[in-house]
Chain A
Amino acid sequence: MTQVRDLSHFVRHLDGGVARMELAVEGMHCGGCMRTIENGLSAMPDIIRARVNLTDRRVAVEWRDGKVDPAGFIDRLSQLGFRAYPFDSGKSAADERREGQTLLRCLGVAAFAAMNVMLLSVAVWSGNASDITPEQRDFFHWLSALIALPAAAYAGRPFFYSAIRAVKARRLNMDVPITVGVLLALGMSVVETLNHAKHAYFDSALMLLTFLLVGRTLEQAMRRRTRAAAGNMVALRAETATKFVGPHELCEVPVASIQPGDLVLVRPGERIAVDGIVAQGRSQIDQSLVTGETTPVAAAEGSMVYAGTMNVSGTLRVRVSVAARGTLLDEVSRMLERAVEARSHYVRLADRAARLYAPLVHAAALATILGWLVFGATWHDAIITGIAVLIITCPCALGLAIPAVQVVSSGALFRSGVLLNSGEAIERLAGVDTILFDKTGTLTLPEPEVVNAAQIPADRLALAGRLALASRHPLAAALARAALAKAPLNAVEEPGQGVRCTHDGIELRLGLPSFCGADGDAQDIVDADPEASVIAFAYGTKHYVFAVRQKLRSDAIDVIAKLKRGGFTVEILSGDRASAVAHAAHAVGIDRWHAGMTPGDKIARIAALQAQGRNVLMVGDGLNDAPSLAAADASLSVATAAHLTQAAADAVFLGDRLAPVTAAVAIARRARRLMRENLALAIGYNAVAVPVAMLGFASPLVAALAMSGSSILVTLNALRAKRAAPERAAWKS
């Protein structure tokens, strides 16, 4: 049977007969890789351009439409030593990019205007103290107005629009006091200029916008970076299916383009990408990723198979279900939607601060005006002083306080192997006091491992490993990994039995114990360890049995002990059998465990804990975990998880170790501490500045010094999130 790859789903057709595709590239780290890839692709005929983006780890290729098969790019890159995956650059990515560009443009304009106006202001301030004439001062003020008014109208748009949206929805956010402050400062300055007054606040308004835009840009850049990393991960694991396009013709297509009624081929060792009914073939199906159950179930003609499960032993032809409703995946998706909806009620620290802050500063300004009137000031002076209070309380440092910490902390998390899906996840992670682990694939490694390799002679193990490379069975794959086998033996496959070959005149067999004549040994192993799976190897008349089982992550025991010392309540929620869960719980030292749980049971357990006032962190990997990841207060998923699960989690951690879980919580707690410190600094600044302004001493010079001083202070404080915290201090919140 012939097989081709169809990537047309990912190709964008541009004007002028040019086609474009983006690929996520694994293993690209430096300028050298970048040059190899660009030169390697550009050397192919009919390629117009190949451009690497090293920040996002992607390459964009443009070619003359219809002249080249895009699948060739992936082959070319694999010759060059890189694994590449087509990347579906959706609409959201383009929107995000545009938003980032708009913010940067606004920042550029605001910074330009602020610098020029400040230049004029310094002249006025020094002139006021010496010999400036009123005409010169008016000239400088009018010049400032000429620069400031259009610049503020342009650069302030992100705040103005957001404030209008908030007011329309009858809410208050930080942008409302910002907008009010900026507009009043500009309006008052124009009036004061008309009155030939000594002070105008054009510089304060622009400086405020500049600092706030720095905060917004940082926040947006972080969001974009976390999305890019998450998007690549989805592309690297993008599910494809092998579809029959003719009776003997196969085509590898993205799952998104599969239609109900299509016939797909699922080979042993492959993950089933669709829900469907087996049309032909028999096999064992490993549903551990979907249900957590580790014992495979049998599938034959007419059985229902589910997306996300693993085909273990035989080749299947699967007819894609017409009705996707009522399937397991569908049920999981619906639960997920409900859980996500419930979680969106979380209110971020910054928004909570804004709700308190806005009414407070507006009240202070009003009190100032009334106070001055009571003490006999003119309306003009009273209003000017009131507006000065609003200007000086504008949340300049407050706007930087949280984004700066988020950016620095997400960098620290990235270095610990944790990729964030959302910025507010840091705040939610910091609040957890109860940690729930899934067992299969989370506490244990996702791939099974050979546990008795040390008891088998090394040369036999090596031979068995080479033979195992010829089989697609997951147990054989585990054996090949254990033997570090590189060179496959040329073997014949006996369907449903195993593989065999002749090596140096001796017959080798690998497969079921009965196929290798090792039933007795296999029974001994299974009796001793009921959870182990076995695979047998025959060398002539001698035979060996390998026990394969899910192994705990190497540092699982340490991490659990550390979490318990840190005062966290730790539990296991698993869909697996009670005996298997009990064994794992005992091994890592967790007293509370729940076995045989459905996705609904897991959500119920989380809800019960939340009702007791607990803040729950869920760590999981299976599709069955996805709804509970979304339902928990915070969630972490393993990078090997299905992409629905990764998308439901707040953050994804990489690697074979569990240590990123403790690192994530520790970094998040430190980040929250720094955010609170920053908010306290910003409020402390106001506590000093507001009385000064109320008394009428807030000249533009004082406002400029206070604003820049407090902004620099919170930024420097945020940089402390970068330092590695000592273990003891890590749990303090």
Chain B
Amino acid sequence: MEVLIYLVPIALGLGLLGLGAFLWALRTGQYEDLEGAAWRALMDDDPPADQGVVR
């Protein structure tokens, strides 16, 4: 049962990671406009400055 020493912190850590991600998403306003976010995912017209150089 010594394996618990690793497994329990790993399980809790993963859970906290998920919770942290959710709280971060909430704080950065990603739940403000669910309908708009669905469309934004489909847009591919990043401003030219952000695009990599085409070789």
B45: chain A residues within 8 A (beta carbon): 35
**Is B19 in contact with A112, judged by CB distance below 8 angstroms?**
yes
Contact partner of A31 (CB less than 8 A), chosen from B15, B18, B22, B40, is: B40
A119–B12 alpha-carbon span in the complex (Å): 10
A136: chain B residues within 8 A (beta carbon): 1
A112–B21 alpha-carbon span in the complex (Å): 12
**Is A116 in contact with B12, judged by CB distance below 8 angstroms?**
yes
**Is A105 in contact with B23, judged by CB distance below 8 angstroms?**
yes
Q: Is B53 positioned at the interface, with any CB of A under 8 Å from its CB?
A: no
A52–B33 alpha-carbon span in the complex (Å): 9
Q: Is A30 positioned at the interface, with any CB of B under 8 Å from its CB?
A: yes
Contact partner of A119 (CB less than 8 A), chosen from B11, B22, B26, B38, is: B11
A147–B23 alpha-carbon span in the complex (Å): 17
Q: Beyond A101-B26, A104-B26, is A55–B11 a contact (Cβ under 8 Å)?
A: no
A53–B36 alpha-carbon span in the complex (Å): 6
Closest approach, in angstroms, between the C-beta of B53 and any C-beta of chain A? 23
B36: chain A residues within 8 A (beta carbon): 31, 34, 52-55
Q: Is B54 positioned at the interface, with any CB of A under 8 Å from its CB?
A: no
Near B by CB (< 8 A), chain A positions 131-167 give: 136, 139, 143, 147
Q: Is A56 positioned at the interface, with any CB of B under 8 Å from its CB?
A: yes
A101–B39 alpha-carbon span in the complex (Å): 23
Q: Which residue of A lies closest to B32 (CB)?
A: A53
Q: Is B3 positioned at the interface, with any CB of A under 8 Å from its CB?
A: no
A108: chain B residues within 8 A (beta carbon): 19, 22-23, 26
Q: Which residue of A lies closest to B42 (CB)?
A: A31
A119: chain B residues within 8 A (beta carbon): 11
Closest approach, in angstroms, between the C-beta of B20 and any C-beta of chain A? 10
A109–B45 alpha-carbon span in the complex (Å): 36
**Is B22 in contact with A34, judged by CB distance below 8 angstroms?**
no
Closest approach, in angstroms, between the C-beta of B12 and any C-beta of chain A? 6
**Is A116 in contact with B39, judged by CB distance below 8 angstroms?**
no
A479–B51 alpha-carbon span in the complex (Å): 55
Closest approach, in angstroms, between the C-beta of A9 and any C-beta of chain B? 24
Near A by CB (< 8 A), chain B positions 6-44 give: 8, 11-12, 15-16, 18-19, 22-23, 26, 31-36, 38-40, 42-43
A679–B16 alpha-carbon span in the complex (Å): 36
**Is A116 in contact with B43, judged by CB distance below 8 angstroms?**
no
A56–B34 alpha-carbon span in the complex (Å): 10
**Is B16 in contact with A54, judged by CB distance below 8 angstroms?**
no
Q: Which residue of A lies closest to B17 (CB)?
A: A112
**Is A30 in contact with B39, judged by CB distance below 8 angstroms?**
yes
Q: What's the dominant secondary structure at chain B's contact region?
A: helix
A112–B15 alpha-carbon span in the complex (Å): 6
Q: Is A122 positioned at the interface, with any CB of B under 8 Å from its CB?
A: no
**Is A116 in contact with B11, judged by CB distance below 8 angstroms?**
yes
Closest approach, in angstroms, between the C-beta of A354 and any C-beta of chain B? 29
A109: chain B residues within 8 A (beta carbon): 19
A112: chain B residues within 8 A (beta carbon): 15-16, 18-19, 22
B12: chain A residues within 8 A (beta carbon): 116, 147
**Is A34 in contact with B39, judged by CB distance below 8 angstroms?**
yes
Interface core residue of A54, A104, A139 (most chain B CB under 10 Å): A54
A121–B11 alpha-carbon span in the complex (Å): 14
A105–B22 alpha-carbon span in the complex (Å): 8
B34: chain A residues within 8 A (beta carbon): 55
B40: chain A residues within 8 A (beta carbon): 31, 34
Q: Beyond A54-B36, A112-B18, A136-B1, is A104–B31 a contact (Cβ under 8 Å)?
A: yes
Closest approach, in angstroms, between the C-beta of A370 and any C-beta of chain B? 41
Q: Which residue of B lies closest to A136 (CB)?
A: B1
Q: Is A115 positioned at the interface, with any CB of B under 8 Å from its CB?
A: yes
**Is B26 in contact with A54, judged by CB distance below 8 angstroms?**
no
A115: chain B residues within 8 A (beta carbon): 15
B23: chain A residues within 8 A (beta carbon): 105, 108
Q: Mark A44-74, 1 if CB is under 8 A from B, else 0.
A: 0000000011111000000000000000000
A101–B30 alpha-carbon span in the complex (Å): 11
A108–B26 alpha-carbon span in the complex (Å): 10
Q: Which residue of B lies closest to A102 (CB)?
A: B26
A266–B23 alpha-carbon span in the complex (Å): 52
**Is A31 in contact with B39, judged by CB distance below 8 angstroms?**
yes
Contact partner of B8 (CB less than 8 A), chosen from A52, A101, A143, is: A143
Contacts A/B (CB < 8 Å), 24 sampled: A30-B39, A31-B36, A31-B40, A34-B36, A35-B43, A53-B36, A54-B33, A54-B35, A54-B36, A54-B39, A55-B33, A55-B35, A101-B26, A101-B31, A104-B26, A104-B31, A108-B22, A109-B19, A112-B15, A112-B19, A119-B11, A139-B4, A143-B8, A147-B12
A interface residue numbers (CB < 8 A to B)? 30-31, 34-35, 52-56, 101, 104-105, 108-109, 112, 115-116, 119, 136, 139, 143, 147
Additional A-B contact list (9), CB under 8 Å, known A105-B26, A112-B16, A136-B1: A31-B36, A31-B40, A31-B43, A55-B33, A101-B26, A108-B19, A109-B19, A112-B18, A115-B15
* Closest 3 pairs (CB-CB, A-B): A31-B39, A54-B36, A112-B19
B interface residue numbers (CB < 8 A to A)? 1, 4, 8, 11-12, 15-16, 18-19, 22-23, 26, 31-36, 38-40, 42-43, 45
